[in-house]
Structures are given as C-alpha cells and as structure tokens.
Structure 1
Amino acid sequence: RTPTAVEAAGAELLRTGCGAVLIKGGHTKAREASGAAVAQDYFCSADICCWLSSARVENENTHGTGCTLSACIAAFVAQGEPMLDAVVLAKAYVTRGIQLATRLGKGPGPVAHTGWPADAKAMPWITRTCDEGIVRTQFARCSDGAACGVVPIVDSVEGVQQVVSAGAKDVQLRVKNVPASTVLEMVSHAQEACAKSGARLWVNDHWEAAISCGTYGAHVGFEDLEAMGVKERRRLASSGMRLGVSTHSYAELATALAVRPSYVSLGPVFSTASKKLRFTPRGLANVERWRKLIPSDTPLVAIGGITRERALAVTAAGADGIAIISAIDSWYPRS
C-alpha cells in the first residue's frame, strides 16, 4: 500500500461515521536515511491527520500487538488523555513491549507488559506526511550546559542586558507585535550584549533574525513549529542554529521529537499569569515523565509558575533547565 492509498482509506473510514481512525503499519519496510528501519502508522480524525513513526524493533515475539495497542488506547483515554495523546502513549507502550518480549513456548512469544511509557527509544514521532517521518531534520546539540540552569525570558534589549550583567548564561528574547526591521535591530543589540558577557541568546519565534545575527539558538512555540514547512526547518537546521520547542501534551512532544530539537520545553508546570494557555498545569509528575521520554542528549526546560522556592522540586523531577518570566527580578535583581 502506498501512503496515498493509506490516507484515502483513512478518509473513507471517517466518512462511515468513525470518530477517529488508526491504520497500523507494523508490516511496512520503511527506512530512514541512516538505514534504520521505521514502523509507521496513520491516524486521522475530524481535527488532524498525521503519521506516527518509531524505530522498528527486530523481534519475532510480537504476538498480541494489535490487541495490546487497542487496549492501551482505551486505557489511556479512560485516564483522560485526548485521543491522539492516547495513541502516542499506546504506540510507545507496544514498542517497549516488543523490545522486552521473549518466547515462552513454541512460536512467537507475546508482547511484554510494562508500566507507563518511560523509554525515549520507544517514543514515536509525529509528522504530517509519511516521508517526513523517514527523512527527519536534525538540529545541533546543546553544549557547555546550554539550556540547563535558569533561562530568563525577556522582551527587550534592556532586559537582556539586566540578566546577563547579573550572571545569566542563557537568555531568551521574546518580542511580540513589533515590525520585522525593529526585531532585527533588537536581536542584533541583544546578541552584542550576550557576546560581551559570554552568554547564549535564544530568540523566540523570529528565527530568521536569529540566523542573520548569529545567535546561539532559536525557540518556537508548537503552533509555530507546525506552521514551518520542511524547507524552513531544514534551512534553520543547516545554519547550525540550535532549536528549542514548546510542548504541552504527548502529541505535541511527539511532533517536536520529529525534528530532533536541541531542547524541549514543557509547561506550564504550575499555574501562571505570564501567558494565557489552553492547558492546565502539567505538574511535577509530567516533568518526570517528559524527561524519560526525551533523548538523554536533549535538555528538558520547564516553564510556568516556577519560583525560587519551587525550583529544587522541578529539577529533582528531571528538568535540566528552568525558564522564568515573572520571577526574573527574584533571580536577577536590578542593579
């Protein structure tokens, strides 16, 4: 079956009245550019259509994969997870189960049963097309502790100067509703301030300005990542720019992992008034889960309502970095 035929079959099943359709692709023979085998499934609903890919596990003990997958989806939905999030978690569960499966008697053995997904190698990635799941982007890795520790987020050049003069090693410049020419000027001045202090500048959303000014990295929200085309993502990656991506759900995490970002952000961990979000606080339990589902060479940055008093608990849960907005003055007092 071609990807086009699979997508057409999904659309036809939706027209029969199904709320969502998942077409398993465990028997396909797709491979990444590296030669690694990939298992791809197709999901579609009234809201979204996408491909889920994961590293293929070479193990003949795969008895019960379909039954386990459907049962897991139902179980995660029963626990309150949205449908696509449930599918992501179920695919991770089954992949891990195949990794650990052993033969018990004659013939293929059953899928092993574990706990809540907690293995980065079993975590799938989500893409809009089948090909994107095979030919993936790869962003430069963080080095020298980048994105680890406290990462203040400011909206002005003066704010950048304040935090780097107080010792910040990473700072994110987030500018909204400003003309492109002004953004470029601000990023240029902010980069100069960081260079003088030996700090790393991350530019929120305006990645083209970040490339032009030679900043250490860029950060994009989940919606902005989705809006970027393949050419834009490849251009950004080929520039050597690091990329951080915001995530709030398991489906968003799987989408971020598809581009192999430099770091992943999770939030809001706690209730916050700094930004209006459609997601409730994720809590420390999800910080711990995110850290286990993200590759070890990819820092996890937590954000949202993190005060100095809460910071230790957040890092103990697994966060490598803490992004702050309203709490900046308590961390980096004005001189």
Structure 2
Amino acid sequence: MTETLRLQARELFWPPADGLTATTERIRARLGDWPPTHAPWRICLTPPDAPNGGDLIVVTDAAPHLANIARWMLNGAGVLEAAQGRATLHLGGERYALEGELAEDWIPALAAFLDCGFDPHDALVLALAWRDGDEAREDAWPVDFSRFPRVPGLPDAPAQPFAPCPERLGIYPVLPTADWVERVLDYGARTVQLRSKQPKSPELMREIERCVAAGRKHADARVFINDHWREALAAGAYGVHLGQEDLRDADLGALAASGVRLGLSTHGYYEMLIAVHFRPSYVALGAVFPTTTKVMPTAPQGLARLARYVKLLDGVVPLVAIGGIDGAVLPRVLATGVGSAAVVRAVTEAADPAVAVAALQNAFTQ
C-alpha cells in the first residue's frame, strides 16, 4: 500500500486544493527521507491578491497576464507558464524553459520535489520526468533519462561528438599552477586540471604549455585546462573544463573537431540537461560539500543527491564528483557509484602531497 506523508502544516496550493494536497502527500511519501525545505514554496493555480517570494504562479498563457507579471516578479514570486508539453519558469530574473510530458499529476509532483528541497527549476525538471502512478513503483524517483525533458533553444551540439575519456577517471586533483601539475603527475595521479587564476597573458600561455608538456611526459596522463579554452586548444591540451557560463562564448565546434576532451560543470538537474545536450566527455557534479576554493552558485548538493544523479547518468556520460571532497569523505562519495572525484585542498594543503595522492588513489581500490 502506498504510504502518505502529511504536509498540512503549511499551505502547498492557492487556492487550497485538498485533492492536490493528498496526491502530493502520497508522492512525497515515496520519494525518501530528505531534509525539510527551507523555502516554503506555494503553487498558485490562480494569482493571489498579494503574491510573495514563496509563490510560484501557474498560468497556461502569459499574454493575458503581462501587465501583472512584472509586479508579481518584483515581489519575488515566480511565474510558471505550462501548457501542451512546454513549461517555462520565470524566477529571480532567470528563465528556465523545458519541453516534455506534463502528466496529470505533474503539479503535485512539483510540490513534492520542492518539499524535498530542490530549487524550483530542478524540481520542475523532475516533475516533467514524473509519470502518473510512479509512486507505486519500488523506487519512485525518476531515474530513466529517456523520460526527462529537454531544454529548448540551445545551440546545436557539435556535429562531431567530443572525444571520449575513460568511464572512471579516478582521483582528479585540481591544481593552481604548472609546478603543481608537474609534481602531482610525478606522484602518480593521471587525471589533473590546471585551474589558474592568472589573467590572459604570455605567462598564462607558458603555464598551459608546461602542463601540456608534463602530460605528454606521462603517456597515460590526462591534463585538463580550466576555462582558457583558446590557449588550451593552441597548446594541444588533452582536455578543457568549462562552466555553464562559458558555453555562451566557447567555440564548441572547434574544440570537438580538434579532438579535445570536454568536461562541463553542473549544479543540479536543469544544468545536467544542458550539459548532456552538448555530448561532453564527462560531466562534473557539485558542489557535493561546502567548499572555500570558489564561490558556488548553489547550496551543497550532498551525498543523497549525488547518488540520484549517478543513478540517472551512469552509462550516459562519465561523471566526476567535485566540491569539498577529502580523504575522510572520499569513501562515502565513491559509495554512490561515481567514477571520479575532484580534489583541491586535499592535495595542495596536505602536509605531504605525495602521500596524500597515494592515499586518495588507494580509496578507489578498496
């Protein structure tokens, strides 16, 4: 028998809808034990008189509401336009568009995934991957990638897919200088990344060239260059790692044609859909834990989400976990099934980096 989970301590829908609430409770009970959401979202099936920052206002056609939408969003509300297999969320100055199946229970499913703590755009992806009756499955969570929606309007993926890299890249130190890249390759790591904070300059180009040369010294090494794709391409690098924001400017066609491997950062389901569209060599999933090495656009994902991401994308694209990972948590990260883990301070701030690299590599053989 399907369990239920009572969510009546807060208002899920406006106007109140007992039938939708009951369905939401039934779905939510089958999604597992997730920390309670810190954002009490309310899905508004009709516009409330005084919308606020916790409201997602659902409309089938934005045109009749144009005069009010700006006011709603100024008050912090989101607007969700949904009809005929398309759903577009306008929230926080961003637009998230999706095409997929709108099941009869997609709105209760959306409420349930919001209650699991997912941001609205990621909860919306899951709601469009939901199918009526999924709560009766042994594992109700959407994990069939073929059922997931797509992001319309993206540039075409390169005609030639990006060159593949090994399915399991192992320990993946992310390093600040060519000196570090050379040292860590000599310690035995075989997948590394240069994440240089230098501005574009002749010195940066020399750093990248040194890293590429260090990779060639070790026949089985895989050296990725973060962000600086033009310089990496000119130097003949094995791979390039880009963030989502870099996709607007990078010449992905030129990179793919050159044989360069491409890794793409993601921070949730919506960005995964974008990344997979471009057929990269690997996808990075993070940040798993809090990290101080860079400013993150989202809260830490945690191990439960990482495990779900791995179950969804395993066999679709190689995966790298990243963010706040060190030797103490690495076994739990690998228990999710992910084939690679990026580390920063676990190597660069280690008392003995050579010993640290060996210990981290050993975790993959346990």
Normalising by structure 2, we get a TM-score of 0.69
Return the letter of the residue paired with 1:224.
Answer: D
Query: What is the aligned counterpart of 2:357 among 312, 332, 335?
Result: 332
Query: What is the aligned counterpart of 1:305 among 293, 315, 324?
Result: 324
Return the letter of the residue paired with 2:265.
Answer: S
Instruction: Quote the residue 1:151 is aligned against.
Output: 172
Question: For 2:225 and 2:195, how far apart are their aligned partners in 1?
Answer: 6
Q: Is the 8 A contact 1:120 1:292 kept in 2?
A: no
Instruction: Quote the residue 1:78 is aligned against.
Output: 115
For the pair 1:249 / 2:268, whether they are aligned, the reply is yes
| 3-state SS, counterpart of residue 105 of structure 2 | helix
Q: Which moved more, 1:168-177 or 1:179-188?
A: 179-188
Query: What is the aligned counterpart of 1:181 among 202, 214, 224?
Result: 202
Q: Is the 8 A contact 1:139 1:243 kept in 2?
A: no
Instruction: Quote the residue 2:244 is aligned against.
Output: 222
| 3-state SS, counterpart of residue 309 of structure 1 | coil
**Residues 152 and 279 of structure 1: CA distance in aligned 2, closer, same or farther (over 3 Å):** same
Listed as ranges, the matches of 1:84-95 within 5 Å are 84-93=121-130
Count the aligned residue pairs.
Answer: 281
Instruction: Quote the residue 1:190 is aligned against.
Output: 211
**Residues 257 and 14 of structure 1: CA distance in aligned 2, closer, same or farther (over 3 Å):** farther
What does the per-residue CA deviation read over 1:144-169, in whole Å, with 9 as the maximum and x for residues that have no partner?
x3661001111111111101111111
Question: For 1:139 and 1:184, how far apart are their aligned partners in 2?
Answer: 27
What does the per-residue CA deviation read over 1:219-261, in whole Å, with 9 as the maximum and x for residues that have no partner?
0122223x336xx233322322221111122222222222222
**Residues 291 and 44 of structure 1: CA distance in aligned 2, closer, same or farther (over 3 Å):** same
Instruction: Quote the residue 1:60 is aligned against.
Output: none
For the pair 1:169 / 2:194, whether they are aligned, the reply is no
Give the unaligned 5+ runs of structure 2: 1-60, 73-77, 348-352, 359-366
Instruction: Quote the residue 2:363 is aligned against.
Output: none
| 3-state SS, counterpart of residue 328 of structure 2 | helix
Q: Deviation of residue 172 (structure 1)?
A: 0.3
Q: Deviation of residue 197 (structure 1)?
A: 1.1
Question: For 1:267 and 1:158, how far apart are their aligned partners in 2?
Answer: 26
Q: Is the 8 A contact 2:80 2:87 kept in 1?
A: no
* Identical-pair percentage: 33
Question: For 2:242 and 2:326, how far apart are their aligned partners in 1?
Answer: 23
Q: Deviation of residue 24 (structure 1)?
A: 3.3
Question: For 1:12 and 1:46, how far apart are their aligned partners in 2?
Answer: 21
Question: For 1:315 and 1:12, how far apart are their aligned partners in 2?
Answer: 50
Question: For 1:319 and 1:296, how far apart are their aligned partners in 2?
Answer: 11
Q: Deviation of residue 279 (structure 1)?
A: 2.9
For the pair 1:16 / 2:68, whether they are aligned, the reply is yes
What does the per-residue CA deviation read over 1:69-127, in whole Å, with 9 as the maximum and x for residues that have no partner?
1221222223332221111111122xxx3xxxxxxxxxxxx665441211222233335
**Residues 147 and 15 of structure 1: CA distance in aligned 2, closer, same or farther (over 3 Å):** farther
Q: Is the 8 A contact 2:198 2:204 kept in 1?
A: no
Return the letter of the residue paired with 2:119.
Answer: P
Listed as ranges, the matches of 1:60-75 within 5 Å are 65-75=102-112
Larger-Rg structure: 2
Give the unaligned 5+ runs of structure 1: 1-8, 27-39, 57-64, 98-109
Q: Is the 8 A contact 1:301 1:321 kept in 2?
A: yes
Q: Is the 8 A contact 1:24 1:42 kept in 2?
A: no
**Residues 125 and 66 of structure 1: CA distance in aligned 2, closer, same or farther (over 3 Å):** closer
Instruction: Quote the residue 1:120 is aligned against.
Output: 145
Instruction: Quote the residue 2:339 is aligned against.
Output: 320
**Residues 239 and 116 of structure 1: CA distance in aligned 2, closer, same or farther (over 3 Å):** same
Question: For 1:286 and 1:90, how far apart are their aligned partners in 2?
Answer: 16
**Residues 11 and 184 of structure 1: CA distance in aligned 2, closer, same or farther (over 3 Å):** farther
Q: Which moved more, 1:10-19 or 1:277-286?
A: 10-19
Question: For 1:174 and 1:117, how far apart are their aligned partners in 2?
Answer: 34
**Residues 23 and 181 of structure 1: CA distance in aligned 2, closer, same or farther (over 3 Å):** farther
Question: For 2:332 and 2:108, how far apart are their aligned partners in 1?
Answer: 34
Instruction: Quote the residue 1:100 is aligned against.
Output: none
Instruction: Pick 1 or 2: higher relative contact order, CA cutoff 8 A, min separation 6.
Output: 1
Q: Deviation of residue 177 (structure 1)?
A: 3.2
RMSD over aligned Cα, in angstroms?
Answer: 2.7
Q: Is the 8 A contact 1:287 1:318 kept in 2?
A: no
Q: Is the 8 A contact 1:157 1:190 kept in 2?
A: yes
